[in-house]
Structure 1
């Protein structure tokens, strides 16, 4: 999952990493909870940040016997450089093409931020550790847009060249089916195959009737008229 809606412009917010879910975000997570009420999670993991923990707690509240919620720092959002924006529109515009050309040598999420290559290594290592070193049949992982895009690129085998295509609406659900077999070395397990069974499902709006905007526009409550601004359009 991706976490629910947050407000990076909340008046009392001093550290964007510590942002909490808004009322809208909690409603989105509650819709996911209701959609997943018959799921039986053996493992529940979040990125260690409040917005993913709060989303996971709401979703797990629909389970009769939810597992302990585990933080995994390897699933934190791609680390960005610091940018100054005076409005929601400006910040959204600066972020609009953040995932394009992620496979280019040295490409970064934002200037001075983490390279996509390093983020991919970190996220896929975390996912492989969860899949291969922990006992479970059905796991809930609540993370972030960039992390989820990398996870989906990993699952489909396309890597960073594909992640710009994977829209991740707020509090969306993705379902990755993973087959594991005994490792050829005779020790541990190996991933045999992966399949994407569901992608960007929003339980609060299954047919996306009210989600014509991109997730970025929704998050920052802006509307670019259906078109993301080019870098040349940013003053």
Structure 2
């Protein structure tokens, strides 16, 4: 097994949110398919800054959710790597929470108001991401399954996952043992970086997670100090003109 230098059984995961996208772009509105959203100019700037910040991190494994905006984000980050770049992978278990039918909206403000507080009741029994959407509990199960599959793989020390706000909130809540109730408190600005460590101990059939460590949350290299970033992340992405 491979572990971080100077440690006995520690691995590190850089968990990113994709860069800024516009869900009001013509191709998204006309198709009624948010999966088609791509990085905006602002999103590209965010990820270039992230790529520059991560240029000296040696990644052994790099994974996107497979959706276009995460693939674009991962490719841009890899463009700035100083060292050898591993093959990019996709894992649909890190796709965003599924929202059911396309949301009918009249304005950005209406959509922002609908989305902003979706995680407040995530821990309630039967709670879904929007009406008719995926159960938060099912999103938790599949994303943790994907994360556990990565942790169980041999031969890596440092990994990068590019995913989405909802999935990242859930994973961060799991890391601090807060359950789904904790997901409402974790902001995930576009293009942000989270740094997560896991300590592993050997077992008869492999290893187990002894502890989960959150090193950093919601780092935004384009604006580390969050100056002027006064909206919640869900408000910002849907209300930004």
Common topology (TM > 0.5): yes
CA displacement, residues 157-195 of structure 1 (integer Å, 9 cap, x when unaligned): 111010100000001000001111212xx1122111111
Counterpart position of 2:180: 160
Distance in structure 1 (CA, Å) of the matches to 2:221 and 2:156: 24
Matched, 1:205 2:223: yes
CA displacement, residues 10-36 of structure 1 (integer Å, 9 cap, x when unaligned): 123322112110111011000000111
Please point out which of 69, 79, 83 is paired with 1:61.
79
Please point out which of 119, 124, 130 is paired with 2:139.
119
Counterpart position of 2:59: 41
Pair 4,222 (structure 1): closer, same or farther in 2 beyond 3 Å: closer
Distance in structure 2 (CA, Å) of the matches to 1:190 and 1:180: 6
Checking the alignment, whether the CA contact within 8 Å between 1:89 and 1:222 is kept in structure 2 is no
Checking the alignment, whether the CA contact within 8 Å between 2:112 and 2:239 is kept in structure 1 is no
- RMSD value over aligned CA atoms? 1.2
CA displacement, residues 59-109 of structure 1 (integer Å, 9 cap, x when unaligned): 111112111110001000011122211211111111111001211100111
Checking the alignment, whether the CA contact within 8 Å between 2:113 and 2:235 is kept in structure 1 is no
Q: Which has the higher contact order (CA 8 A, sep 6+)?
A: 2
Higher relative strand content = 2
Counterpart position of 2:161: 141
Checking the alignment, whether the CA contact within 8 Å between 1:40 and 1:138 is kept in structure 2 is yes
The CA deviation at 1:48 is 0.7
- When normalised by structure 2's length, the TM-score is 0.89
Figure out how many residues of one structure are paired with residues of the other and give that number. Answer: 221
Distance in structure 2 (CA, Å) of the matches to 1:68 and 1:222: 34
The CA deviation at 1:222 is 4.7
Q: Which moved more, 1:159-168 or 1:127-136?
A: 127-136
**Structure 2, unaligned stretches of length 5 or more?**
1-15
**Structure 1, unaligned stretches of length 5 or more?**
224-235
Q: Is the partner of 1:26 in helix, strand or coil?
A: helix
Please point out which of 95, 102, 110 is paired with 2:115.
95
Counterpart position of 2:95: 76
